[in-house]
Amino acid sequence: MLVRVVKMTFRADAVKTFKEFFEERKEKIRGFDGCCHLELWQDNIDTNIFFTYSLWLNEAALSHYRNSAFFKETWRQTKLLFAAKAEAWSVDKLVVLP
């Protein structure tokens, strides 16, 4: 299982637009072949910062998604709202405590 965390910082005037855009697309992202889980987080101090947390079957599944026309269009529209360059990490879970 591959964990993908993406940090996005939006312009203050774009936060509402991003939330609405994510709401429209979240089911299609989650339903993409190989995506096992999807969450959207918002920083509780700097509310212009958001994170997506997603679980993928493997790197191939994530790559397939990232190369899809759907992702490319979604990312193109999302980037227009940024105040700073996004950061992303692909990581493996090592320890999980219930």
pLDDT in tens, the chain (98 residues): 999 999 999 999 999 999 999 999 999 999 999 999 999 999 999 999 999 999 999 999 999 999 999 999 999 999 999 999 999 999 999 999 99
pLDDT at 15: 98
Q: Are strands 2-9 and 35-42 parallel, antiparallel or unpaired?
A: unpaired
What does the alpha-carbon distance between residue 73 and residue 59 come to, in Å, rounded to a whole number? 21
pTM to 2 decimals?
0.95
DSSP letter string over 31-92?
A: TSTTEEEEEEEE-SSSTTEEEEEEEES-HHHHHHHHTSHHHHHHHHHHHTTBSS--EEEEE-
CB-based contact 86:6 (threshold 8 Å) = yes
* Domain 2-91: CATH architecture, name and number where available: 2-Layer Sandwich (3.30)
Domain boundaries in the chain? 2-91
What Rg do the C-alpha atoms of the chain give, in angstroms?
Answer: 14
